[in-house]
Amino acid sequence: MQINPNEFTDRCDFGFIDSVPNETNGNPVETFIPKFSRWFGWRNQTFNQQYQLLGVTQTDTKQIVVRHDKEITPDMRVRINDVVYQFVLFSPDNRSLRDTFDLLTLKEVEKP
């Protein structure tokens, strides 16, 4: 997979969903809590990848690439432009090379 870090032109936040009290009435509300942010680049899915995801009923997914980071875990959520996504596929590159990248397939988190 040919990846050019110069294409990492967008910023995303990695974090978790947590319950926090509503300021108005004190009821718990699930909200995204960011832990850190990273630069990323969008990836186009091939037709083969799209058909494979259709087979497991995962449509409307997006792919992004970030530099490999051990802090990123599969249970995290990603916020891009105020939209929160969960990982459908998490493909970290654990090789001990200087330039390694993680491929993340994302699906928008459904609102409760």
- What are the boundaries of each domain within the chain? 5-19+28-108
Q: Taking the alpha carbons of 75, 110, 59, 5 in that order, is the dihedral positive or negative?
A: negative
pLDDT in tens, 15-30: 999 998 988 898 998 9
At 65, list the tokens.
């690439």
Domain 5-19+28-108 in CATH 3.30.830.10 = no
pLDDT digits (tens, 9 = 90+) for 51-67: 455 455 555 788 899 98
First vs last C-alpha separation in the chain: 36
Enter the pTM of the model.
0.79
Which pLDDT tens digit goes with each residue over 1-55? 567 777 788 999 999 999 989 888 989 989 999 999 999 988 876 545 554 554 5
Distance CA 77, CA 84 (A): 7
**Nearest one of 71, 56, 68 to 104, comparing CA atoms:** 68
Identify the CA nearest to 70 among candidates 43, 102, 39, 42. 102
